[in-house]
Structure 1
Amino acid sequence: MALKKNTILKSHGRPPWYSEDGLPLTDAFVVGIAGGSASGKTHVARQIDSFYKKHSPEEIDLAFANKYDFDHPDALDMSLFASCLADLKVCRQTNIPVYSFTEHQRLNETKYLYGAAIIIAEGIMALQDPALRAVYDLKIFVQCDSDLMLARRIRRDVKERGRSVDGVLEQYLRFVKPSYDNFVLPTSRYADIIVPGSDNHVAIELISSHIRRQLDDRTRRFRSKMALSRANSSTSISQLAFEQVGHPNLIVLPQTPQLKGIYTILRDKTTPKQDFIFFLERLSTLVIGDAMAQLPYRDKIVVTPVGEDYAGKELDADHVCGVSILRAGGPLERGLQRVIADVPIGSLLVQSDSKTSEPLLLHVMLPFCIRQRHLAEKAWVFLMDAQIGTAASAFMAIRVLLDHGVPQNHIIFVTFLVAREGGVSVLHRAFPQVKIVAGAVDEELRETWLTDVIEEVEGESTEGRKAWIIEPGMGQIGDRYYL
């Protein structure tokens, strides 16, 4: 079967990788797999051979004539490879190059990667560079008979890369075999495990078991602590915000009769769906409007239609974007789009694990200005969710933005409702510079069991899961809006 380069293997989701103080607690687990070309490494991992250096026109001509040595260490950009792996290991995003084997060239495009709990780096030179070896938690070498590797290489290159048999043999004898003997095989001494190139099911199972144990040891569970948290002092964080003392970063909209009227309609379970949608979108515009005041502005002089100068303001930010926590953050997107024309909006999907109730990061689709670290460092982000209860999803979403390089004081969390006695206190202690703009604050956060939720987990049906609801609250806002 043809194998696609730069393939991301997705799991059921990534649990928290940080502690209650908001800092990354565990690195990703990195596995390096080396071995000869066509040795059978793809039975252990998908190939990651995208770090060949950019080639000149003369080198491309040699490549098409099978006269360029791709199997020498100098053909690979080892420093870039090590840098990308190091970023992924410490939970930062990276952008890896894309290499075309049919064109013999590194393409201008890159592939954005983020959020892996396990990283498998595989290639003939994966164990050759000391900087790479320093990143790995587990080093594997795939040992295979030379005749079998040649047979596999001929079949692969003819079928998948459009090469001729004569060309494959010429390249193998001139470059591949000498490189294997001189550079690849000697790196087997660095391996923690030697795996046979065929009939290796037992070895793979042992490796998989070891990785599973590593992940279990690194699992963090603290949602219940967040749900039951209280501020260190006798005065809660939201009370301090109301009194404009101590913590100005929680901004609650003035509780005007108009605003209370909107919340009365939204809290009423008998409100028709069309009315609920209308007033929720109206509320989203009000909340986003207040959140706009948290962006930086500079002075600007304009000339009015009557010919007079007017000293005004204009936005002083290179990039402004929104990130919605699916799916309850969706209604706030409408408000943001009404306030800022053509604003780029991304999304995160964070859902609760049915067994542990801990948050799982399932999906990341961020605007371009966040995916590139040099742009993210100057970006201002509206992070949107319908409510902050335990704050577990908010906590994870903020950590994702910080991993991409967004400054903490450039994150503005926009929400309809905050639970005073929920996880907002933990959120504040971990990320004191993040501003939270809320439409209202409710008093209670009650633990309950959702018996109407049925999920299929590892082949077993589970009915219900633990949850925390805000009281008096507005119910499941996403369900009321979309269903």
Structure 2
Amino acid sequence: MQRPLVIGVAGGSGSGKTTVSRAILDRVGSERIAFLQHDSYYYDLSHLSFEERRKVNFDHPDAFDNDLFLTHLDALIHNQTIASPMYDFAHYVRLPAVTKIEPRPVILLEGILIFADVALRKRMDIKLFVDAESDKRFIRRLRRDVRDRKRNVDSVIEQYLKTVRPMHLEFVEPSKRYADIIIPRGGLNAIAIDMVVARIEWMMTERGQR
């Protein structure tokens, strides 16, 4: 069986990664894509008090269980079904439930720090970096965390100033140099997304996966 095409979508928090990923899923076809989100692989912090959990730097590479992420990625590459963890971002713990992800011709990875890991980069055939201005990224993150992750405004702002911005400058922004394609203006760059989708379709045709 042909090895799946592995695509990585990276970029700062709130840059539009999920918008780009959803566009790829819609255009290429979700039935042909296994979608694996790095955010689901934060370490479970249930052994810590809630106050201790809040002090953890979730924007540092060490916050992620990359061993499990790599194990699951390799399983998908070798045509095996995985049980991806689900994360509770309000309480910083893994949920008992899991998400079943079946192998597909395309594996789509998404996360702020997936280019910062050498082993992950080596498994990617296409690396996309979604770029956006810092103020727009912050506003999107604020809205998302308050609406979807049930956080309060003050805690989101505090985290942004203490860890999100410094870690972006230290780890995320430098990882841009590993990208094959940089998508400016976030997920609203229709022309760039058209080009990316066309490239994916061409590569799948060349590999006999269409």
Contact 2:77 2:103 in 1 (8 A): no
Q: Return the letter of the residue paired with 1:82.
A: L
From 77, 81, 86, give the equivalent of 2:65: 77
Give the structure with the higher percent helix. 2
In 2 relative to 1, CA 89–59 (structure 1 residues): closer, same or farther, beyond 3 Å?
farther
Give the equivalent residue in structure 2 for 1:181.
169
Give, in whole Å, the separation in 2 of the partners of 1:89 and 1:194.
25
Specify the structure having the higher radius of gyration (Cα).
1
Give 4+ residue runs of structure 1 displaced > 3 Å after superposition.
none
Q: Distance in 2 between matches of 1:80 and 1:100?
A: 17
TM-fit CA distance, 1:141 = 0.9
CA displacement at 1:198 relative to structure 2: 4.8
2-side partners of 1:198 and 1:88: how far apart? 26
Correspondence for 2:208: 219
Q: Which amino acid aligns with 2:205?
A: D
* TM-score (normalizing by structure 2): 0.86
The aligned counterpart of 1:50 is 40
1:210 and 2:199 correspond: yes
1:455-479 Cα offsets, whole Å, 9 max, x none, are xxxxxxxxxxxxxxxxxxxxxxxxx
1:88 and 1:58 map into 2 onto residues whose CA distance is 32
Aligned to 1:200: 189
Asked if 1:160 is matched to 2:136, the reply is no
Judge conservation of contact 2:44–2:92 (CA < 8 Å) in 1.
Answer: no
AA aligned opposite 2:111:
G
User: Given that residues 96 and 110 in structure 1 are in contact (C-alpha distance below 8 angstroms), is that contact kept between their aligned partners in structure 2?
Assistant: yes
Q: Compare the two structures and name the one with the higher strand fraction.
A: 1
RMSD: 1.8
Q: Distance in 1 between matches of 2:208 and 2:104?
A: 14
**Partner residue in 2 for 1:39:** 15
d(CA) in 2 for partners of 1:56, 1:96? 18
User: Quick check: 2:20–2:187 contact (8 Å CA) kept in 1?
Assistant: no
Asked if 1 retains the 8 angstrom alpha-carbon contact of 2:145 and 2:151, the reply is yes
Query: Is 1:95–1:113's contact at 8 Å kept on the other side of the alignment?
Result: yes
Given that residues 130 and 187 in structure 2 are in contact (C-alpha distance below 8 angstroms), is that contact kept between their aligned partners in structure 1? no
- Counting only pairs closer than 5 Å after superposition, residues 190-269 of structure 1 correspond to structure 2 as 190-196=178-184, 197-219=186-208
Secondary structure of 1:58's partner?
coil
Which structure is higher in RCO with an 8 Å CA cutoff and minimum separation 6? 2
In the superposition, the TM-score normalised over structure 1's length comes to: 0.39
Aligned match of 1:132 in 106, 117, 120?
Answer: 120
What residue identity is the alignment partner of 1:136? M
Q: How many Å apart are 1:186 and its aligned residue?
A: 0.8
Identical amino acids, percent of aligned pairs: 42
Please name the residue that 2:134 is paired with: 146
Q: Is the 8 A contact 1:60 1:105 kept in 2?
A: no
Shift of 1:102: 2.3
| Distance in 2 (alpha carbons) for counterparts of 1:62 and 1:45 | 33
Q: Would you say the 8 A contact 1:41–1:142 is kept in 2? A: yes
Shift in Å, 1:117: 1.3
Any idea what SS the aligned residue of 1:99 has?
A: strand
Deviation at 1:220, TM superposition (A): 6.6
What is the deviation of 1:98? 1.4
